[in-house]
Amino acid sequence: MGEIVLIRRAELLDRAAALAVVASAFGREDEARLVERMWAAKAIEFEIVAAANEKIVGYCACSAVTIDPPVEFRVLGLAPLAVTPARQKQGVGSALVERMLEDVRRAGAGAVVLLGHPRYYPRFKFVPAATKNVRWDVRDAKEAFQMIEFAAVFDGRPRVVSYHPALGGL
Ligand SMILES: CC(C)(COP(=O)(O)OP(=O)(O)OC[C@H]1O[C@@H](n2cnc3c(N)ncnc32)[C@H](O)[C@@H]1OP(=O)(O)O)[C@@H](O)C(=O)NCCC(=O)NCCS
């Protein structure tokens, strides 16, 4: 109780623990394998962990996405976000998302997209990407495909977002 959770950049030494957190959060290995593919492809541009007493309890990554037709800004895809089950609903996920948004915005990104629960992400000001005529290339993910803009990136013309090939269909 009252333990301080620190959000910091992920390091190579965090990798095994980060994979364990991702697998435990999702209750399966698929997303951990995804993270390994992202590492192998050097697809990750921003990567942070949440640490409690030096133990990794949360993980979040962002990779570049491509937009067709292109936009003038750098756009990132947030995936995955994971908090170890025993630490969920204590604000760790929110702290990771907020720090990630701050980092990518400061680095000059114009927008972030993600696939996630439509009731979780609006608290960070994500909106359905469809409101700006932006869709995911793999399938119609409806309200789950969300975005946040830090600048006027999307002008309403139809645009299609593709994640890095290492993420495949996620
Ligand atoms: C989603 C996740 C990262 C949230 O992390 P967290 O540390 O529990 O989140 P916070 O404590 O900051 O926020 C908790 C809030 O999120 C809500 N929440 C958590 N998971 C949710 C989900 N799948 N759908 C809707 N709401 C969810 C909780 O109900 C709670 O709501 P409240 O603040 O209104 O009470 C975490 O639950 C997790 O790792 N889940 C499994 C992996 C996963 O689904 N990741 C992808 C998410 S798109």
76-102 confidence digits (pLDDT tens) = 999 999 999 999 999 999 999 999 999
Is the pLDDT score of 1 beyond 60?
Answer: no
Distance 159 CA to ligand 1 centre (A): 29
Question: pTM score, two decimals?
Answer: 0.95
- Which residue's CA is the nearest one to ligand 1's atom 23? 117
Distance 85 CA to ligand 1 centre (A): 10
Angle at 102 between CA 110 and CA 168, to 5 degrees: 60
Assign 94 to helix, strand or coil: helix
Nearest to 168 by CA among 132, 133, 136: 136
CA pair distance 61, 42, nearest whole angstrom: 12
Is the pLDDT score of 2 beyond 70?
Answer: no
CA pair distance 75, 65, nearest whole angstrom: 6
Residue whose entry in the numeric block shows the structure tokens 């969300």: 146
Q: What is the pLDDT of residue 58?
A: 98
Q: What is the pLDDT of residue 170?
A: 77
The fold adopted by the segment(s) 5-167 is Aminopeptidase (3.40.630)
